[in-house]
């Protein structure tokens, strides 16, 4: 293709609606540009400027590590439609991902644009080291300790610490110190009923710093969370 026809093509493409191009494999520069603006307002705080999730100011917010959108080997296993669905529905449909869906904030067109931009962030980092998206889902479905790990990181580690040592990132700001829930002294004493009573007890408002969790949200996850906490002393304390 010579230089002039390339330029003409670009100009023509500016006049064609983005929805046509959403299905094409050639990235439409306008779509990518629009996606970049949206990414920078909605996603950058957690996923970072390069999509790698490192050094992003809020990368730690959800406790679980923010996914690496810059990993080509991983991202190339997902079709555009699969990425769009993950962004739209988040954990609602893909429970192993601890990210809320964005479909109430962003319509389909905007999500399509963001994903076109996200595609441009993927760089070759060699062969995939970790599990594939399918393997992650299977593990989440089949392994209660994996579910417990992810939910503990998400719901409890901000205060009780990733290792259960009571030193989560929010703990420094807490008036009451979170207990070292994963210590050899405390972990073995936890029972489903005692933890349930504490995490859902609405009567401790005035004396407790810990949030009260809704039964609907936390109870289906609690047995897995507790089972995981009980593995922490073996993993971390001497």
153 is a contact residue toward ligand HEC (CB under 6 A): no
Stretch that binds ligand HEC, among 14-22, 24-32, 82-90, 122-130 (CB under 6 A): 82-90
Residues sharing a CB contact under 8 Å with residue 94, sequence separation 6 or more, in sequence order? 85, 86, 137
73: closest CA among 131, 128, 123? 128
Could you say which of 27, 45, 169, 230 contacts ligand HEC (CB under 6 A)?
Answer: 45
Q: Do 111 and 39 meet the contact criterion of CB atoms below 8 Å apart?
A: no
Does 77 help bind ligand HEC (rule: CB under 6 A)? Answer: no
Number of residues that bind ligand HEC (CB under 6 A): 43
In the region spanning residues 121 to 140, those forming contacts with ligand HEC, defined by CB under 6 A, are 133
With binding defined as CB under 6 A, does residue 57 bind ligand HEC? Answer: no
Return the range that interacts with ligand HEC (CB under 6 A); candidates 6-14, 22-30, 92-100, 141-149.
Answer: 92-100
Would you state the structure tokens that stand for residue 2, as one six-digit string? 């010579």
Q: Binding ligand HEC by CB under 6 A: which of 98, 101, 164, 232?
A: 98
From the CB of residue 72, how many other CB atoms can be counted at a distance below 10 Å? 16
- Residue 210's contacts (CB-CB under 8 Å, 6 or more residues apart) are 159, 176, 178, 198, 199, 204
CB of 163 to ligand HEC, least distance (A): 14
């Amino acid at each position: 293709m010579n230089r002039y026809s390339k330029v003409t093509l670009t100009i023509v493409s500016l006049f064609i609606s983005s929805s046509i191009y959403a299905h094409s494999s050639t990235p439409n520069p306008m779509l990518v540009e629009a996606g970049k603006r949206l990414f920078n307002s909605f996603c950058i705080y957690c996923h970072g400027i390069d999509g790698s999730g490192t050094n992003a100011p809020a990368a730690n917010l959800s406790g679980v590590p923010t996914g690496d959108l810059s990993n080509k080997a991983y991202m190339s296993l997902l079709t555009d439609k699969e990425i769009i669905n993950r962004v739209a529905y988040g954990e609602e449909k893909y429970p192993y991902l601890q990210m809320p869906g964005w479909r109430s904030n962003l319509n389909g067109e905007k999500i399509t644009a963001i994903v076109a931009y996200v595609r441009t962030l993927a760089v070759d980092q060699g062969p995939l080291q970790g599990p594939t998206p399918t393997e992650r889902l299977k593990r989440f479905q089949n392994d209660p300790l994996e579910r417990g790990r992810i939910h503990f990181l998400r719901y409890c580690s901000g205060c009780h610490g990733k290792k259960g040592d009571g030193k989560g990132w929010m703990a420094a700001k807490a008036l009451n110190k979170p207990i070292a829930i994963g210590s050899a002294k405390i972990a073995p004493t936890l029972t489903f009923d005692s933890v349930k009573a504490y995490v859902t007890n609405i009567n401790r408002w005035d004396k407790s710093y810990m949030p009260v969790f809704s039964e609907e949200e936390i109870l289906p996850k609690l047995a897995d969370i507790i089972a995981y906490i009980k593995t922490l002393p073996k993993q971390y304390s001497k």
